[in-house]
Amino acid sequence: MSTGTSLAAPLQATEAAAAVSRPLVRATWPRLLAFALALATAITALELWAWWRPPAGMAFLGSFWATEDVAAYWSAMREAAGQAGWLVHDRLTSEPHAPALVYPLYLAAAKVGAMLGASIEAAYIGFAWLGRLFFLIALGALVAALVEPARRRSAYALALAGGGFAFLVLLIAATMRRPDLVGEWAVDWRYVELSTFLALFSYPHVLVSLGALAFLLVVRLQLDERVSARGLAMLATTTSLMALANSFALVPTAIALAAYGLWRVATRSAVLRRELAIGLVFLLVATPFLLYSWRTFGQDPFWATVYGDQNVPHLLTPSLLPLLSGLGLLIPLGFIGAVTLVRERPGGWSLVLLWTLVLFALMLLPLPYQRRYGLGMPMLLALLAARGLATVTASGEWRRLSGGLRRLGGYAAVVALFSSALGVVVLVLTLLITGRGAVSVMPAFERASVVDASRWLAGHSTREDVVLAEWRTANVALRYIPGRAFSGHPIATLEAEAKEASVRRFFDATTVDSERESFLRTRGVTLIIVGPRERASGDFDPGGSRYVERIYANDEVVIYRVDVRRTP
């Protein structure tokens, strides 16, 4: 990233410009590394602040965004750290099932952490820091491969932090006293597939997947110039990393690589033999991952249901208008940039344009997991928008405006493009101070009493224990304990709705005790956690039953050990 910030002229990315800029590219790497280290460390410092200095009576759940999934990652990491193998179970549900290779990068982080004597929490936060650093460097490499030195800083900023109208939606919702508008329209604060900046506050594997995509694009651009063994090895490496982080990304990557290769052959920009070699290397690496995903999550009765069928309704792309709101000015500026690219055909940018179209199309087609296919699309769209912004500011129409109008338009564009990212920072800081609210749907903090009870239970339970609690309480417990949940995160729990109904019925004071006893016996429940959520579900207190023994209590939470044999 150079010090140039002007957007007064169209971007030039021809091969001649790339050759001239190579010494400047090398000179920018120290700056890029320094920036990446600073930003990755700053965001990680906010998480450490949340760990060590949470609001009074609260405890951090491990992520500022969508904390519900953290329980699945930590429980898998805990199982992997305690064994030699790599196959783990879904511990957020109680049914017996065959283990599988899921979350491989998290499992690797857990095993490395165990070798170093680190806790699961420390391994996770270290992985998150590395993921941020990797992505920020990879994005810089992509920008350097495409954009001339004088335009790189602005292009990098737009690709990293350019976003939609979520902050404006928040202001409108507050004015109209319609908080529901935020959930419906501020989609760039809900889905990492629609906000690159939000991804910095999300899960480590998301960042690794984005970084792998950026590096894969850089490698593919290098292969345009010369197909070498080194280049093909780099393609295989980036493909493997992408598959380990996010196997969903392999589908759009395969389509985009095939389409780009065919386009190059059709326009006589490349020899068919070389394009086939590139495609063959990708397929040789990607096919085993795709086959394993298909066999596990498409054919296995348990995994196909829990992580397949149950996931589909939660991964739909927002409807068109909220989607457009979530991308904001990136859409019109990206369109202008695309038109400019089609007219000028500079080297390298055709790949970005085609890849963006593939990701956008897959998000809109009626396919399962459709939103998952769009990860990385805002990043690439923002690069096109940078090109479009340069075209606008270099146009005669823009130059004929008065200086005051140009400044006003520039300030308005900056607010519209970057207010979403600023809003994420404001939300995170608000969370740190108050402990209330969320960047996404689930809160980032939990009552300290629930976390304290879960930490205690970690040392007083086994892998064979099954915990009964309201699913959000169970989700907290599964971060720490080695056992399983009767009902945990709805996406990771088999028959989640029916199980939550069973939990509510258990705590309903009108349910007869013999029914509860039968339920505990048939479901294999060995532990009951009673906290604020469970008391809100019903007035039943298990403490008066003969088949339980109280083993822990604090001001808000009581834990019971179940033994149905104690009933006379």
Amino acid at 369: Y
Statement to judge: residues 408 and 552 lie in one domain:
no
Token pair belonging to 209? 């997947």
User: Domain for residue 441, yes or no?
Assistant: no
**Residue 212: what pLDDT?**
97
In SS3 terms, 37-95 reads as HHHHHHHHHHHHHHHHCCCCCEEECCCCCCHHHHHHHHHHHHHHHCCCCCCECCCCECC
pLDDT at 386 over 90: yes
The pLDDT of residue 270 is 73
**Final residue of a structural domain among 411, 434, 457:** 434
Q: Looking at residue 525, which CATH number applies to its domain?
A: 3.40.50
Asked whether residue 188 falls in the same domain as residue 276, the answer is yes
**What mean pLDDT do residues 244-259 have?**
95
Number of domains, the chain: 2
Residue type, 11: L
The percent of the chain in helix, strand and coil, each rounded to the nearest 5, is 70, 5, 25
Does the structure show a pLDDT above 80 at 9?
A: no
| 3-class DSSP assignment, residue 426 | helix
Domain enclosing residue 204, as ranges:
15-60+119-434
Q: Check whether 324 has a pLDDT greater than 60.
A: yes
Share of the chain above pLDDT 70, in %: 93
Q: How many CB atoms lie within 10 A of CB 31?
A: 14
Give a yes or no: residue 405 inside a domain.
Answer: yes
- For residue 21, is pLDDT > 90? no
Q: Is 529 helix (H, G, I), strand (E, B) or coil?
A: strand
User: Is position 230 within any domain?
Assistant: yes
Report whether pLDDT(566) > 70.
Answer: no
C-alpha neighbours within 13 Å on the C-beta side of residue 483:
26
- Residues 430, 520 within the same domain: no
* Measured distance CA(78)–CA(83) in Å, rounded: 9
Supply φ then ψ for residue 11, to 5 degrees.
-70, 145
Residue with more model confidence, 404 or 22: 404
Sign of CA dihedral 104, 317, 428, 331: positive
Inter-helix orientation angle 229-245/204-225, to 10°:
160
Confidence class for position 268, pLDDT limits 50, 70, 90? confident
3-state class (DSSP) for residue 289: helix
Q: Is the pLDDT of residue 26 over 80?
A: no
Structure tokens at 171: 């202001």
Residue 83 within a domain: no
> In 10 A of CB 24, how many CB atoms?
14
- pLDDT above 90 for 439: no
Residue ending a domain, among 404, 434, 464, is: 434
249 and 154, same structural domain? yes
Task: Please indicate, yes or no, whether residues 41 and 159 belong to a single structural domain of this protein.
Answer: yes
The model's pLDDT over 127-180, given as tens digits with 9 standing for 90+, comes to 999 999 999 999 999 999 999 888 899 999 999 999 999 989 988 988 998 888
Element (H, E) at 172: helix 166-176
Q: How confident is the model at residue 15 (pLDDT cuts 50, 70, 90)?
A: very low
Shared-domain flag, residues 430 and 501: no
Which tokens belong to 387? 């090109």
pTM: 0.91
Inside any domain, residue 439: no
Phi-psi region of 136 (alpha: psi -120 to 50; beta: other; left: phi over 0): alpha
Mean of pLDDT over the chain? 89
Does 436 score more than 80 pLDDT? no
Take residue 153 and report the two structure tokens written for it.
Answer: 């800083």
Please report the pLDDT score of residue 432 as a whole number. 87
Extract the runs of DSSP E, i.e. beta strands, from 241-301: none
Q: Is the pLDDT of residue 23 over 70?
A: no
Alpha-carbon gap, residue 468 to 528, rounded angstroms: 5
Q: 209-227: per-residue pLDDT in tens?
A: 999 999 999 999 999 888 9
* Reported confidence tier of residue 314, pLDDT bands at 50, 70, 90: confident
The residue out of 384, 402, 434 marking a domain boundary is 434
Looking at residue 179, its pLDDT comes to 83
Residues 230 and 255 in one domain: yes
Q: Are 451 and 399 part of one and the same domain?
A: no
- pLDDT for 50-94, tens place per residue? 999 998 899 999 998 888 899 999 999 999 999 999 999 999 999
Flag whether 92 is in a domain: no
479 in the same domain as 406: no
At residue 524, the pLDDT reads 93
What tokens does 273 get?
A: 């033999």
Q: Give CA–CA dist 42/55, Å, rounded.
A: 19
Share of the chain above pLDDT 90, in %: 71
Q: Tokens for 55?
A: 């609001």
Strands (E), 165-225: none
Task: Please indicate, yes or no, whether residues 347 and 401 belong to a single structural domain of this protein.
Answer: yes
Examine the pLDDT at 3 and tell me if it is beyond 60: no
Rounded to whole angstroms, the Cα distance separating 469 from 475 reads 9
Q: Does residue 73 fall inside a structural domain?
A: no
Residue 271 shares a structural domain with residue 418: yes
Half-sphere exposure of 43 (CA within 13 A, CB side): 29
Instruction: Collect contacts of 139-143 with beta carbons under 8 A, ≥24 apart.
Output: 139/210, 139/211, 139/214, 139/379, 140/1, 140/28, 140/29, 140/32, 140/35, 140/36, 141/214, 141/215, 141/218, 142/214, 142/215, 142/217, 142/218, 142/383, 143/1, 143/383
| Residue 108 confidence (pLDDT) above 90 | yes
The answer to whether residue 124 scores a pLDDT higher than 50 is yes
Phi, psi of 60 (to 5 degrees): -75, 140
Considering the domain boundaries, does residue 3 fall inside one?
A: no
Of residues 199, 219, 292, the one with CA closest to residue 250:
292
Q: Span 16-39, mean pLDDT?
A: 66
- Supply the pLDDT for residue 442: 57
* CA 148 and chain centroid, separation: 30
- Here the tokens at position 185 are 């329209």
Grade residue 433 by pLDDT with cuts at 50, 70 and 90.
Answer: confident
Q: 370 with 478, same domain?
A: no
pLDDT the model gives residue 399: 87
